[in-house]
Amino acid sequence: MPATEPSIPTLAAIEPRPDREHFLISDLCAEFGVTARALRFYEDEGLIAPKRKGLARIYSHRDRARLAWILRGKRVGFSLAEIREMIDLYDIGDDRRVQRQVTILRCRERIEKLEEQKQDIDAAIDELQQFVDLIEGLPHSATDKRN
Amino acid sequence: MPATEPSIPTLAAIEPRPDREHFLISDLCAEFGVTARALRFYEDEGLIAPKRKGLARIYSHRDRARLAWILRGKRVGFSLAEIREMIDLYDIGDDRRVQRQVTILRCRERIEKLEEQKQDIDAAIDELQQFVDLIEGLPHSATDKRN
DNA sequence: CAGCATCTTGACGTTAACGTAAAGGGAAGA
DNA sequence: TCTTCCCTTTACGTTAACGTCAAGATGCTG
């Protein structure tokens, strides 16, 4: 059986870039607003692994999507170690039965944690909103749902 | 005009504790699962300021609620500096007109940031869920809303 | 009074996530 | 060829948020 590129999902839904075949470090830095130092650091930490053309790093579309995932992970408060763990889970797209169960479990744990975080955020928003209302002198405006 | 306790809102909606008049550091440590070192650190950083009985710290109900706020702030990814800033906003419950506008603005900024975080979290949950579905071999189950 | 628990204040150590030089390679244009 | 960019590695510095002793005060209890 020839290796027909396993077609693993790309991670992260970001704007595609069919115009470019690959990216330089400066491209990604500009696009995502991070420093080259940070990208190299993520590489040292095993979070991303671009190919090389000589010494220069060449980032593929998958690398780019992976970076997007990393940065979002950071925004929602995960450490790089946690993010790497999650990424590793993705990369075990193979057959071992037991590993698959573990992977699923970990994912579910993550999801639960994220749900809890959402609740904390909602609570925080609520309180800030109440405070704003109060300071504006409004008569207590019951938590307005403008969602 | 005698100082009739300004009646500033207590922050954070947590289980009240009418049974106790105040708390020791070990009480709060046990209740919130943090170390005494952390509480003292928050104090050094100006996040909380319990009274003293001799040397020992005596935490009021407001101190307790404030701690709850601090910890939630941490859970949603704010730095202690950011949290202090938000707390400081609360404490400007006075009259200066201009300051009020600034306070409100800051609060709104915070709220916006939190909303963005929620979106990131939702996206992360979505992807994790999709991955779980995929690894479970389900046929792509359109993002099931079991909410 | 001795011992123990619980508090306190230093003060130095640690980890994560980069920042910040320093020193140099390689290609492209004047 | 010289200069200019953009890339590289190596390595020490920094900040946040505590951890971890060390050494001492205070108060209850046997």
- Both tokens of B38, joined, read 């952390």
For A18-75, CATH number? 1.10.1660.10
pLDDT tens by residue, chain A, 147 residues: 444 444 455 555 689 999 999 999 999 999 999 999 999 999 999 999 999 999 999 999 999 999 999 999 998 888 999 999 888 877 765 656 677 788 788 889 889 999 999 999 999 999 889 888 888 875 444 444 444
For residue B99, pLDDT beyond 80: no
Q: Give me the residues paired with residue A53 across strands.
A: A56
Contact A89, A103 (CB under 8 A): yes
Residues of B with CB under 8 A from a CB of A: 9, 11-13, 69, 72-73, 75-77, 86, 89-90, 93, 100, 103-104, 107-108, 110-111, 114-118, 120-125, 127-132, 134-136
Higher pLDDT, A26 or B110: A26
Note the CA–C1' distance, A111 to D30, in angstroms. 54
Residues with Cβ within 8 Å of B97's Cβ and at least 6 positions away in sequence, in order, are none
Residues of A in contact with B122 (CB under 8 A): 118
Categorize the per-residue pLDDT at B67 as very low, low, confident or very high, splitting at 50, 70 and 90.
very high
Indicate the residue of A107, A121, A127 with minimum beta-carbon distance to B118: A121
Mention the CATH class of domain B18-77.
mainly alpha
The H-or-E segment that residue B53 falls in is: strand B51-53
Query: Alpha-carbon distance B62 to A72, whole Å?
Result: 35
Q: What integer pLDDT is reported at residue B147 of this predicted model?
A: 40
Q: Which residue has the tokens 């359109």?
A: B142
Computed from CA positions of residues B68, B65, A147, B77, in that sequence, does the dihedral angle turn out positive or negative?
Answer: negative
Nearest Cα to Cα of residue A93 among A7, A14, A12: A7
Find the helix packing angle between B97-136 and A80-91, rounded to 10°: 30
Min CA distance, A69 vs chain B (Å)? 8
Mean pLDDT, range B74-101, rounded to an integer:
80
Q: Is B145 helix (H, G, I), strand (E, B) or coil?
A: coil
Domain boundaries, chain B: 18-77, 92-138
Q: Which residue has the tokens 């710290």?
A: B57
Looking at this protein, which amino acid is placed at residue B42?
A: Y
Q: What integer pLDDT is reported at residue B94 of this predicted model?
A: 60
Q: What integer pLDDT is reported at residue A100 of this predicted model?
A: 79
Min CA distance, A117 vs chain B (Å)? 6
Pairs of CB atoms within 8 A across A/B: 100
- Both tokens of B144, joined, read 């099931």
Nearest Cα to Cα of residue A85 among A109, A62, A121: A109
